[in-house]
A = this chain, B = another copy of it.
Amino acid sequence: MADVLILGTVALDNIETPFGKADNAMGGSASYAAMAASFFCRPAILSVVGEDYPKEHLKLLESRNIDISLIKKEGKSFRWEGYYEFDMNEAKTRKTELNSLEGFKVNIPENYKDVEHVFLANIDPELQLSALKQLKKPEFIVLDTMNLWINIKKKELLEVIGKADILLLNDGEARMLFNTTNLVTAANKALALGPKGVIIKKGEHGALLFMDGRHFSAPGYPLENTKDPTGCGDSFGGGLIGHLAKTRDFSEPNIRKAIVYGSAIASHNAEDFSVNRLKNITMKEIEKRYNEMKEIREF
């Protein structure tokens, strides 16, 4: 069994940034999130890949103590091809091939239905809703999404937001979803939908938490060498749920800590292509960066 169930995508990515490129690299929201969560506990990925999905990618996941038994194999793999321009703030999509993702239905085996911690990583909100319907009574649910679902499945997205404990949005998504430029206003509107807390991810500017009438501002880690920001949001979410599942403490002060762990992992992730950095860092390096993040905000 697993400590965290992660629903999301497992993809093959072709990525180009001003600092190089990677082809047929492991990608997808669930891959990044599970790699990040695996520093703290045992995650299970709920997803689908094609029959063509490289064995070494799946082996890497397994080697990290990630339960891959809920990854279905069917048809051709989901592929994403994207690039970043000089400012690297926004991924531009060249091509998306849904392939096996298109007909993917969530089907959770009986013995996984009482999982306690759930990360609904970025994927179609209908699948996120379907997963929640099948689970018995998860103790803590973290939800992520992307601008695409705000545009084409807003109704379903709003429904699943109402069922989540913590909602993750990046600043652009928060402004778009709640039709305001003010992030405090956006966060208040998000909280009105039901979640206990809202986290707004701001990339290099850090992250904000709004919960229990309080506000937390996590600093961004000052990175000089960003090679590929793909998966930073996913690994942030994975690190966050991983720390929460490990500590089983869902209080606001511990969510602050979880955010900083998520940021520490996400900042490492940006230092190399695909999951290349995540597969090499150690918990000691994560702790070191966590402590550096204490130091940089001291006054």
Cα A298 to Cα B260 in complex, Å, equals 11
Contacts of A298 in B (CB 8 A): 216, 256
Tell me whether A183 is interfacial, beta carbon within 8 Å: yes
Contacts of A24 in B (CB 8 A): none
Q: Residues of A within 8 Å of B, CB-based: how many?
A: 36
Which of chain A's residues 58-73 have a Cβ closer than 8 Å to chain B?
A: none
Which of chain A's residues 194-229 have a Cβ closer than 8 Å to chain B?
A: 202, 204-206, 208, 214-220, 222-224, 226
Q: Point out the residue from B87, B185, B205, B299 that lies within 8 Å of A294, measured CB to CB.
A: B299
Residue of B nearest to A85 (CB): B181
Q: How many copies, total?
A: 2
Q: Is the CB of A299 within 8 A of B208?
A: no
How far apart are A202's CB and chain B's nearest CB, in angstroms?
A: 6
Tell me whether A163 is interfacial, beta carbon within 8 Å: no
Q: Is the CB of A297 within 8 A of B219?
A: yes
Q: Is the CB of A222 within 8 A of B184?
A: yes
Tell me whether A257 is interfacial, beta carbon within 8 Å: yes
Given contacts A205-B202, A205-B206, contact A218 B183 (CB under 8 A): no
Contacts of A208 in B (CB 8 A): 222
With most chain B CB atoms within 10 A of its CB, the pick from A183, A215, A219 is A219
Contacts of A87 in B (CB 8 A): 181
Residue of B nearest to A259 (CB): B299
Contacts of A183 in B (CB 8 A): 204, 222
Which of chain A's residues 6-37 have a Cβ closer than 8 Å to chain B?
A: none
Residue of B nearest to A255 (CB): B299
Tell me whether A182 is interfacial, beta carbon within 8 Å: yes
